Amino acid sequence: MIKKAIALVLTAVLLPSTIAFAGPPAPKASGIESKDYQWAKMEGELKAALDAKGTAKDGEEGYEICGACHLPSGAGRPDGTFPQLAGQHTTVLIKQMADIRMGLRDNPTMYPFAKELVDPQELANVAAYIEKLCIPTDHGQYEGADAAAQIAKGKDLYEKQCVECHGKNGEGKKEKFYPVIAGQHYKYLLRQMTEIRDGHRRNANPDMVKVIKPYTNEQLVAISAYQSSLKMPGAMCKPKAKK
């Protein structure tokens, strides 16, 4: 497993992020476009991984496959190409990995990596390892000259319709699969919310689709700017010591 992980990491570093490994394409499961779609349906690999007791120690090696793109710290990339994973709920991580593996969430870049995790137990272990990582404080944020105004506008929108699910500090709800958004990169948040609104995120929560559907591009910018400013007390990484 160690040699396989090293080989995958080296390949990922050398290849552009938009190129996936050669091999069979990801399967294509019916998603939100289907009338029979059920969000977070408890069956198959998803249920098995959620039922498994994951251990962070055993998940560290499996995470080596993920670290090439998401970094060893789980910080992802400030430009939003790869999300911050550190501190994310195990339930959210397991669901997204299981959805990618079964073809419910389209992510051809991640699919070759996700399928290397051998079974539901390894999914649970990797998720347990990621969840315990502290959330970096130096993530990508909105950098426009109107940042203060955008954050203020986004705060108003967030507190009206987002706070019930994602929490005051962006902590989400583990038992409901609502993700941690504190510390997430602005550009990643904006991209995901746009894809959900426009029907391109096939494993989206229908409840969120209803909320976000009426939002304009400008409103999504403001909400993303505010969300990326959130910090979770006790979960963020400690400030680096000054030299």
Is pTM beyond 0.85 here? yes
137 occurs within a structural domain:
no
Q: In this predicted structure, what is the pLDDT of residue 4?
A: 45
- pLDDT > 70: percent of the chain: 89
Mark whether 14 and 113 lie in a shared domain.
yes
28 occurs within a structural domain:
no
109 occurs within a structural domain:
yes
Mark whether 153 and 195 lie in a shared domain.
yes
Distance, in Å, from the CA atom of 227 to the CA atom of 170, rounded to the nearest integer, reads 7
26 occurs within a structural domain:
no
Burial grade of 167 (CB within 10 A; 0-12, 13-18, 19 or more) = middle
Q: In this predicted structure, what is the pLDDT of residue 24?
A: 72
Distance, in Å, from the CA atom of 225 to the CA atom of 242, rounded to the nearest integer, reads 28
Mark whether 122 and 186 lie in a shared domain.
no
Domain count, the chain: 2
Tokens in use for 243?
């030299």
Mark whether 101 and 183 lie in a shared domain.
no
Residue 23 gets the label, from left (phi > 0), alpha (psi -120 to 50) or beta, of left
Q: In this predicted structure, what is the pLDDT of residue 114?
A: 93
Q: What are the tens digits of pLDDT across the range 86-143? A: 999 999 999 999 999 999 999 999 999 999 999 999 999 999 999 999 999 999 999 9
Residues comprising the chain, all counted: 243
Asked if 95 contacts 43 with a C-beta cutoff of 8 angstroms, the reply is no
25 occurs within a structural domain:
no
Predicted confidence band of residue 13 (pLDDT cuts 50, 70, 90): very low
Nearest to 171 by CA among 106, 87, 115: 87
